[in-house]
Structure 1
Amino acid sequence: MLRSVLIGTGSALPRQAVSNAELAERVDTSDEWIVGRTGISNRYIAAPDETTASLATEAAWKAIEAAGIEAASIDLIVLATATPDQTFPATATIVQNNLGCRGGIAFDVAAVCSGFLYALGIADSMLRTGMARRALVIGSETFSRILDWDDRTTCVLFGDGAGAVVVEAREEDGEKPRGILATRLHADGAHNQLLYVDGGPSTTGTVGKLRMKGPEVFRHAVVNLAEVLKEVLEETGLSTSDIDWLVPHQANARILDATAKKLGLPTEKVVMTVGQHANTSAASVPLALDQAVRDGRIVQGDLVMLEAMGGGFTWGACLIRV
């Protein structure tokens, strides 16, 4: 069977790390308040010369190096972001030019924190149907550009960064084939006003700032994530006990703990980087995945579940044998 096999991962963070103590110097908050509610102690904030495209390019080069391939061999780039460099063209085309792999397919996906799952699902479909043979899937964000730094309930939650994976179409057989085994994606626009940015080219003509009703988002996240994970397991005929690692969207430590508990999954099987990176939206899943691959936790043959939920609402899950 033709499957999309993950052959390399990479990530990138801005130069500047900002601790809770440093943030408290400009925002009415404290380390105790932030850690107690979110588990976040640090985040990275992009400098003016660091953009969604530059972070995406750095992460992409690292993934390409890890895969041991030439950048020119990539014929599909799908970049997930809610903070593009420009209204148009797609940030993916900037990355494509930076990598020197012109002529293939390159476009952006907008699904906020679920963006990487959406992008990976699209790439998987295109690889399995023969539209491309090797894809670069990226999640990259500079969320610091759209934060209201006077709103301590939201600005403390987010950071900037990028993560990338290289996947290629391969014939896989046997009892434990590598590659993407199943993906399920959802959206429900009825909850738009619970997590959104109050601006846009066709409404206000401005970029706008992030707005969120945290408690309501928390309740939806725990239920939706647990349900979509079960959907993927049912589709593959596997159970929670078969999962080697859960790599979730790094939104809030309490959401991660609650989701793992609802699934009956041991917390030691959950990759958590939210404390160091905060919520990096579409970048959070590939960032966490790359960290766990590079520190040796995730190895070839492991069964890895990715999941995320974001504004829209959008949510999804993807099961991969790496």
Structure 2
Amino acid sequence: MKSKRGIQIRDIAVYHPNTVRDNQYYLNQYEDKERELAKSVMEEILGRDRRYVIEPGNGENSLSLSIAASKAVLEKTGLSGSDIDGIIVCSITAEYMSPTQALMVHNEIQGRVDAFCFDLRAACIGMVSGIDIAGKFIKMQENTKRVLVVAAECMSLIWKKEDIVDYTCFGEAACAVIVEATNDSSKDIHTRYWNDNRTSELIPLPKKGLTERVLNSDCVLEFELSPSESISLERCKPEIQRILRDNHITLDDIKIFCVSQLSKQLGEEIYEALAVPMEKRIYIGDKYGYTGANCTYICLYEAIKQGRVERGDYILIWTMGYGDQYVVS
């Protein structure tokens, strides 16, 4: 009888562009009341200070960031492309619709010919979902031992300065994780999802759909964002409590809580609802901006760098995607 496999994160790496934009960069583009509004949004609601952004003219995009982060995590672990059994790339701003970005990453890291490669388009819950799927692959398939999961978004390509919240909210970075099998069956990644759907028709990207964008060259690639509007905070606490109860652990057992970095205000609301002590909170939105699908794992990356967590600790990850979708892991 085969022993039950465990799942663990082998390591994690982050890659970001060199260009940094602080709040003053954005304030310089506004005057009078708009300037005051932008300052209030960035400082009081979003909690921003600076963020990394791509320079498209230098060939930077979500694919180039994904490749760089993937190579970084391989170098960090001493692994090569031939050690990877599958690649999942998570992005809603993929540089190409086809072929998959995962296949392009596979080519760059010289992956094995029999490795599975696919993209996952799950908006801001993309990386949490990708790691969940990777874990399930490993559990179900004996010949799958390691999966590379990488996420990157380049939202600065979309926003216009007239949309102050959108324009000042986002930053850009890629995060890559290697999920691998372990013989310790006590190590695992448990994930729960729930859906609300109240905004699924209100904030599509592209705003008017792909067909309209193809038929009408004047149709811009955009959608509208409101950071705290419609978020089902009342559903978050019971779902988080349920995943803890199902795994026989308590909030006190969690070493650090990595929550969505969409806005500092949102994070504080989640922390307060759960009565999370300050020493178990982490916020990186002031340094990175909101990086979308990978933001919670960049939180984990920074927590590890700061020595706040170590292997064997319980980590709780919560994030949401417009639609509305929520996930806790």
For normalisation by structure 2, the TM-score amounts to 0.89
Point out the structure with the larger strand share.
Answer: 1
Matched, 1:9 2:20: no
SS in structure 2 at match of 1:211 = coil
Query: Which residue in the other structure is 2:210 paired with?
Result: 201
Query: Which residue in the other structure is 1:258 paired with?
Result: 269
Tell me the alpha carbon deviations over residues 191-250 of structure 1, each in whole angstroms, 9 at most, x when there is no partner: 214543204423432562130234423x42x33433332221122011111100111121
Structure 1 unmatched runs, 5+: none
Name the aligned partner's letter for residue 44 of structure 1.
Y
Q: CA RMSD in A?
A: 1.8
Tell me the alpha carbon deviations over residues 56-101 of structure 1, each in whole angstroms, 9 at most, x when there is no partner: 1111122222323222210111111110011222211111111111
Structure 2 unmatched runs, 5+: none
For normalisation by structure 1, the TM-score amounts to 0.91
Q: Structure 2 matches for 1:99-118, cutoff 5 A? A: 99-103=109-113, 104-118=115-129
Asked whether the 8 Å contact 1:57–1:95 carries over to 2, the reply is yes
Residue-pair matches, total: 312
Q: Distance in 2 between matches of 1:188 and 1:32?
A: 29
- CA spacing shift, 1:137–1:253, aligned 2, 3 Å: same
Query: Which residue in the other structure is 1:212 paired with?
Result: 225
SS in structure 1 at match of 2:7 = strand
Query: Which residue in the other structure is 2:286 paired with?
Result: 275
Percent identity reads 22
- CA spacing shift, 1:154–1:260, aligned 2, 3 Å: same
- CA spacing shift, 1:22–1:260, aligned 2, 3 Å: same
SS in structure 2 at match of 1:117 = helix
Q: Distance in 2 between matches of 1:105 and 1:266?
A: 41
Matched, 1:165 2:177: yes
Query: Which residue in the other structure is 1:21 paired with?
Result: 24
Q: Distance in 2 between matches of 1:160 and 1:261?
A: 28
Alpha-carbon offset, residue 178 of structure 1: 2.8
Query: Which residue in the other structure is 1:144 paired with?
Result: 156
Q: Structure 2 matches for 1:1-322, cutoff 5 A? A: 1-27=4-30, 28-29=34-35, 30-48=38-56, 49-103=59-113, 104-130=115-141, 132-173=144-185, 177-180=186-189, 182-197=190-205, 198-205=207-214, 208-217=221-230, 219-220=231-232, 222-318=233-329
Q: Distance in 2 between matches of 1:102 and 1:148?
A: 41
SS in structure 2 at match of 1:202 = helix
Name the aligned partner's letter for residue 20 of structure 1.
N
Rg bigger for which structure?
Answer: 2
Q: Distance in 1 between matches of 2:110 and 2:290?
A: 30
Q: Distance in 2 between matches of 1:214 and 1:100?
A: 39
SS in structure 1 at match of 2:42 = helix
